[in-house]
């Protein structure tokens, strides 16, 4: 692919036509299952095939989004979908689940796989990990600045895709559990209920301090192209056809002309916005100016006149595929017309023998006029080679008929399905519900205020921001340490990497907790022991198998799984669960607490985010991001008898002081029930 691809969303067939006709180079669609936009119409098998045929006829690629985490009992159905996608020749798969990716790479090695933004890749080492997995493209996190994108793109081993227009999630994609915890509708499973659009507020904030304006960096497309970005992605598989057409047209104008016309810009803002657009992340800015909601004025702007104008933009096919014609008009021989498109597809047609001209003989100009009438098709005549004997007459209708025959044949060839080889690889054996109960404990902490009662835990996850002196002091007290690397590594990856090297050398700590694939890559380069964290969203046996192959020692599985689902996982490696502490609901680069206008320095303790019912959610910064924590802690210690197939439990401390840590740890170790409010999380109710 040359240049910057414009990649459009299509939630159903009704969006395919406007996307293609407005100028998209590729579209991404979702099937009826395993799509991160399950509320969109999505495509059944016949519609998928129809979309592939139409798009390929029009020179547009089709990417299938299969970008949710998969449970073991869904793996066969997911692979059947992938097999069908290969059968009809989709051009690429967009995927999140590490286990499914691994299985597809073994089953269809020639199928391009794009790492979904749900994989939370936002650094160079994250991209390098996807390359090592065999992926051909990484869809980068939306929160990156132009300088960060440029740095990742420099001599990048795989293609990069960047979101350029559409809704902004408050959380880094793949790291949001808010909807799951509040209503069992998992964003990682395509069922997000968008609770962030409801009133959540910090003191002195906007009143909607989780609702960001829509992203738009269409004015920077040429800059992205110069960086070497492969694809400009428009968000919106749940949006109307008019939105798709307007966004694609704006991108097409921005890329081809260097600017967007006033009319197109006005219509783009009218069809959908939340108090306007923002390019804050791209420009390296965060803060209150990026927040907005869908107002009454925004809704009323999308009126029938706007939609009628947009319909004009995509009522006809876009003529952009060049075709070369060769015409032979010989005395006494049948008329011959042949055609070749830019991809090498050919067609030929033969007509009647031309007659002697009684008046004006046919010439090249009249032939060009007839053959250039390619309206209603995606083709445009690029060149005509003519061999015309003198004094002949041919009706325009004859040339028109030959043109139609040739273009119809070429269109048919372009729309033919081109299967991708697929041979189902053997899956890993799923467990049979082992009766093993957890007998080991690990503790995750945010500081060095650690009571002695924690000495009976097998491992402490401590922040790598602790000084060498504090780390050595903990070692001297008898604690075994692993370094908790931040999930959000925006702009600090090299600093983190160098800090890991320092700690290795000065303190001899050789273990890390990895909640992002970039950390897996760091640990490999530094030859450190790796413990997988919940941020990897491990939810099936194949994913555990993948981590084992990559050298991971053990892993916390997703806390969106039920205890029953966890018990059924294959015994690939030791697994653990988060068993106590405030669960992280969001990971955001745009801290809501800054909306009060006072900045970060005034935070002496965890600031609070309050919902419309008066419930408070504490927030805590680590690395380059802020975690929004659940309003009440998780507690599972008194349900240990119901835990099967689990090797260790993790206690996740965050906002607790030293006394509270000790008290809660004692309650946990005694299998007691806490006096204060708590939650069982999702271990019984699960997610959609």
Domain identity same for 518 and 653? yes
Q: Once rounded to an integer, what is the mean pLDDT over residues 453-479?
A: 97
Q: Spell out the residues 6+ positions from residue 321 whose beta carbon is closer than 8 angstroms to its own.
A: 58, 59, 341, 342, 378, 379, 380
pLDDT at 523 over 90: yes
CA distance linking residue 421 with residue 321, whole number of Å = 28
Residue percentage of the chain with pLDDT more than 90: 91
Residue where a domain stops, chosen among 414, 432, 452: 414
**Which of 420, 425, 419 minimizes the C-alpha distance to 106?**
425
Mean pLDDT lowest for which of 221-230, 355-364, 517-526, 648-657? 355-364
CA distance linking residue 293 with residue 272, whole number of Å = 11
CA distance linking residue 199 with residue 610, whole number of Å = 8
Joined together, the tokens standing for residue 294 give 């869908």
Q: Spell out the residues 6+ positions from residue 86 whose beta carbon is closer than 8 angstroms to its own.
A: 108, 111, 419, 420, 421, 422
pLDDT at 373 over 90: yes
CA distance linking residue 621 with residue 625, whole number of Å = 6
Domain identity same for 33 and 146? yes
Query: Which residues are paired to 28 by β-bridges?
Result: 9, 63
Joined together, the tokens standing for residue 268 give 């783009």
Joined together, the tokens standing for residue 49 give 């095939």
What pLDDT, on a 0 to 100 scale, did the predictor assign at position 359? 86
* Residue in the structure block whose two tokens are 């993790």: 650
pLDDT tens string 124-149:
999 999 999 999 999 999 999 999 99
pLDDT tens string 547-574:
999 999 999 999 999 999 999 999 899 9
Judge whether 403 lies within some domain.
Answer: yes
Judge whether 641 lies within some domain.
Answer: yes
Query: Which residues are paired to 392 by β-bridges?
Result: 356
pLDDT at 115 over 70: yes
Domain identity same for 330 and 374? yes
What pLDDT, on a 0 to 100 scale, did the predictor assign at position 2? 60
3-state secondary structure 247-260: HHHHHHHHHHHCCC
Q: Is the Cα torsion angle 181, 185, 189, 193 positive or negative in sign? A: negative
CA distance linking residue 536 with residue 559, whole number of Å = 11
What pLDDT, on a 0 to 100 scale, did the predictor assign at position 605? 81
Reported as type and span, the H/E element at residue 574 is none
DSSP-derived secondary structure letter, 607: -
pLDDT tens string 226-236:
999 999 999 99
**Which of 408, 407, 446, 384 minimizes the C-alpha distance to 619?**
446
Residue 365 CA to its chain's centroid (Å)? 51
Cβ atoms of 139 and 158 within 8 Å: the answer is no
Residue where a domain stops, chosen among 233, 268, 303: 268
Burial degree of 462 (CB within 10 A; 0-12, 13-18, 19+): buried
What pLDDT, on a 0 to 100 scale, did the predictor assign at position 283? 97
Give the domain CATH number at 518: 3.20.20.70
**Domain range holding 355?**
321-414
Judge whether 55 lies within some domain.
Answer: yes
* Helix 124-133 with 493-507: angle, nearest 10 deg: 90
Q: Is the Cα torsion angle 52, 56, 59, 63 positive or negative in sign? A: positive
Query: Which residues are paired to 214 by β-bridges?
Result: 277
Domain identity same for 264 and 327? no
Confidence of residue 288 (pLDDT cuts 50, 70, 90): very high
Judge whether 192 lies within some domain.
Answer: no
Label residues 246-269 b or e (16+ Cβ within 10 Å = b). bbbbbbbbbbeeeebeeebbebbb
pLDDT at 39 over 90: no
pLDDT at 363 over 70: yes
pLDDT tens string 199-210:
999 999 999 999
Task: Share the mean pLDDT of the chain.
Answer: 95
What are the C-alpha distances in Å from 181 to residues 191, 679, 680? 12, 10, 10
Burial degree of 215 (CB within 10 A; 0-12, 13-18, 19+): buried
Confidence of residue 436 (pLDDT cuts 50, 70, 90): confident
What pLDDT, on a 0 to 100 scale, did the predictor assign at position 597? 78
What pLDDT, on a 0 to 100 scale, did the predictor assign at position 439? 85
CA distance linking residue 674 with residue 651, whole number of Å = 14
**Which of 529, 621, 485, 533 minimizes the C-alpha distance to 123?**
485
pLDDT at 433 over 60: no
Count the domains in the chain.
3
CA distance linking residue 337 with residue 547, whole number of Å = 59
Cβ atoms of 583 and 192 within 8 Å: the answer is no
Judge whether 558 lies within some domain.
Answer: yes
What pLDDT, on a 0 to 100 scale, did the predictor assign at position 40? 60
Cβ atoms of 649 and 639 within 8 Å: the answer is no
Joined together, the tokens standing for residue 210 give 């989780």
Reported as type and span, the H/E element at residue 653 is none
Confidence of residue 34 (pLDDT cuts 50, 70, 90): confident
Joined together, the tokens standing for residue 447 give 């500081």
What pLDDT, on a 0 to 100 scale, did the predictor assign at position 494? 98
Q: Once rounded to an integer, what is the mean pLDDT over residues 63-85?
A: 96
pLDDT at 622 over 60: yes
What pLDDT, on a 0 to 100 scale, did the predictor assign at position 298? 92
Domain identity same for 529 and 567? yes
pLDDT tens string 17-27:
999 999 999 99
What stretches of 515-556 adopt beta strand conformation (E)?
529-532, 554-556
* Residue in the structure block whose two tokens are 């004009």: 312
CA distance linking residue 597 with residue 574, whole number of Å = 46
Residue where a domain stops, chosen among 234, 250, 268: 268
Judge whether 629 lies within some domain.
Answer: no
Domain identity same for 253 and 341? no
**Which of 624, 628, 627, 626 minimizes the C-alpha distance to 148?**
624
pLDDT tens string 234-282:
999 999 999 999 999 999 999 999 999 999 999 999 999 999 999 999 9
What pLDDT, on a 0 to 100 scale, did the predictor assign at position 619? 96
What pLDDT, on a 0 to 100 scale, did the predictor assign at position 35? 73
Domain identity same for 450 and 554? yes
Residue percentage of the chain with pLDDT more than 70: 98
Question: According to DSSP H, which parts of 343-449 are helical?
Answer: 364-371, 396-414
Domain identity same for 388 and 448? no
Backbone angles phi, psi at 37, to 5 degrees: -130, 70
CA distance linking residue 685 with residue 66, whole number of Å = 24
Domain identity same for 359 and 410? yes
pLDDT tens string 298-329:
998 889 999 999 999 999 999 999 999 999 99
What pLDDT, on a 0 to 100 scale, did the predictor assign at position 50? 97
Judge whether 275 lies within some domain.
Answer: no
Domain identity same for 397 and 452? no
Q: Once rounded to an integer, what is the mean pLDDT over residues 118-129?
A: 98
* Residue in the structure block whose two tokens are 């702007």: 301
Joined together, the tokens standing for residue 377 give 């098709």
Judge whether 130 lies within some domain.
Answer: yes
Domain identity same for 552 and 477? yes
Confidence of residue 434 (pLDDT cuts 50, 70, 90): low
Stronger pLDDT, 435 or 107, i.e. the higher one: 107
Backbone angles phi, psi at 312, to 5 degrees: -60, -30
| Half-sphere exposure (Cβ direction) of 382: Cα atoms closer than 13 Å | 11
What pLDDT, on a 0 to 100 scale, did the predictor assign at position 42? 79
Domain identity same for 458 and 394? no
């Amino acid at each position: 692919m040359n240049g910057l691809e414009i990649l459009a969303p299509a939630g159903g067939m009704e969006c395919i036509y406007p996307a293609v006709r407005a100028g998209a180079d590729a579209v991404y669609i979702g099937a009826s299952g395993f799509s991160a936009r399950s509320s969109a119409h999505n495509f059944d098998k016949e519609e998928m095939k129809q979309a592939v045929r139409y798009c390929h006829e029009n020179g547009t690629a089709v990417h299938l989004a299969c970008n949710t985490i998969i449970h073991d009992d869904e793996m066969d159905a997911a692979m059947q979908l992938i097999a069908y996608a290969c059968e009809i020749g989709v051009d690429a798969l967009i995927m999140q689940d590490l286990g499914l990716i691994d299985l597809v790479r073994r089953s269809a090695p020639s199928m391009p796989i794009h790492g979904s933004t749900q994989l939370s890749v936002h650094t160079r080492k994250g991209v390098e990990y996807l390359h090592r997995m065999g992926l051909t493209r990484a869809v980068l996190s939306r929160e990156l600045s132009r300088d960060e994108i440029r740095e990742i793109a420099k001599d990048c081993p795989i293609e990069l895709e960047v979101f350029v227009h559409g809704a902004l999630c408050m959380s880094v994609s793949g790291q949001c559990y808010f909807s799951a915890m509040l209503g069992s509708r998992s964003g990682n499973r395509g069922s997000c209920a968008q609770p962030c659009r409801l009133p959540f507020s910090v003191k002195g904030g906007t009143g909607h301090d989780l609702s960001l304006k829509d992203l738009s960096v269409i004015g920077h497309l040429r800059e992205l192209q110069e960086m070497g970005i492969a694809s400009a992605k428009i968000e919106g598989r749940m949006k109307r056809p008019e939105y798709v057409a307007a966004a694609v047209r704006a991108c097409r104008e921005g890329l081809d002309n260097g600017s967007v016309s006033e009319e197109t810009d006005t219509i783009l803002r009218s069809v959908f916005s939340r108090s306007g657009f923002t390019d804050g992340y791209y420009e390296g800015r965060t803060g209150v100016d990026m927040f907005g909601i869908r107002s009454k004025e925004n809704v009323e702007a999308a009126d029938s006149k706007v939609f009628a104008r947009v319909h004009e933009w995509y009522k006809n096919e876009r003529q952009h595929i060049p075709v070369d014609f060769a015409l032979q008009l010989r005395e006494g021989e049948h008329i011959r017309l042949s055609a070749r498109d830019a991809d090498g597809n050919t067609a030929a047609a033969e007509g009647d023998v031309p007659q002697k001209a009684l008046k004006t003989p046919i010439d090249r100009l009249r032939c060009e006029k007839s053959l250039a009438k390619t309206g209603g098709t995606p083709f445009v005549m690029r060149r005509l080679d003519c061999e015309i004997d003198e004094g002949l007459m041919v009706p325009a209708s004859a040339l028109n008929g030959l043109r139609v025959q040739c273009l119809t044949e070429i269109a048919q060839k372009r729309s033919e399905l081109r299967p991708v080889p697929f041979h189902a690889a053997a899956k890993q054996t799923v467990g049979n519900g082992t009766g093993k109960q957890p007998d080991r404990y690990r503790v995750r902490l945010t500081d060095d205020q650690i009571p002695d009662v924690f000495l009976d835990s097998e491992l402490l996850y401590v922040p790598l921001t602790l000084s060498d002196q504090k780390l050595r002091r903990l070692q001297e007290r008898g604690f075994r340490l692993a370094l908790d690397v931040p999930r959000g590594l925006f702009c600090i990856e090299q600093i983190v990497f160098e800090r890991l090297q320092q700690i290795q050398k000065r303190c001899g700590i050789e273990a890390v907790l990895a909640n992002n694939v970039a950390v897996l890559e760091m640990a490999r380069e530094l030859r450190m022991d790796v413990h997988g964290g919940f941020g990897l969203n491990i939810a099936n046996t194949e994913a555990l198998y993948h981590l084992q192959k990559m050298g991971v020692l053990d892993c916390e599985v997703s806390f969106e799984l039920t205890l029953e689902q966890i018990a059924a996982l294959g015994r690939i490696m030791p697994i653990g669960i988060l068993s106590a502490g405030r669960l992280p609901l969001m990971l955001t680069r745009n801290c809501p607490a800054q909306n009060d206008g006072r900045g970060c320095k005034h935070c002496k303790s965890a600031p609070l985010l309050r919902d419309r019912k008066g419930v408070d959610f504490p927030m805590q910064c680590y690395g380059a991001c802020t975690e929004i924590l659940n309003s009440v802690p998780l507690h599972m210690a008194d349900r240990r008898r119901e835990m099967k197939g689990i090797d260790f439990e993790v206690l996740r401390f965050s906002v607790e002081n030293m006394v509270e840590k000790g008290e809660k740890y004692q309650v946990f170790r005694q299998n007691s029930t806490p006096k204060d409010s708590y939650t069982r999380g999702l271990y019984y109710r699960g997610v959609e």
